[in-house]
Amino acid sequence: MKLVKILTVLFCIKVLAGCAVANEQNIHKTRATTIGQELIDLEKAKDANIITDEEFAKAKQDLLKEASMDVSIKR
């Protein structure tokens, strides 16, 4: 009886571990706007004094870094 319980637990662990591997998915991010448009929008916000030069520089750097990561992942 004890052996049956142990085997049942081991079987359940094996099945659940297989499910976790089988459920692995590739995640694809899509953009509603292009990177170029986002850069234009950032520059417009900076020119309208909505964001500071420092905020613009940081946002631009983050956007370009994210874009370069997207390209390297797709290769």
* Residue range 11-55, pLDDT digits in tens: 667 666 655 555 556 666 676 888 999 999 999 999 999 999 999
Domain assignments of the chain as residue spans, ordered by start: 32-75
Residue 56 has pLDDT above 70, yes or no: yes
Q: What is the pTM of this model?
A: 0.54
Three-state SS sequence of the chain: CHHHHHHHHHHHHHHHHHHHHHCCCCCCCCCCCCHHHHHHHHHHHHHCCCCCHHHHHHHHHHHHHHHHHHHHHHC
Q: How confident is the model at residue 1 (pLDDT cuts 50, 70, 90)?
A: low
Residue 2 has pLDDT above 80, yes or no: no
Residue 6 has pLDDT above 60, yes or no: yes
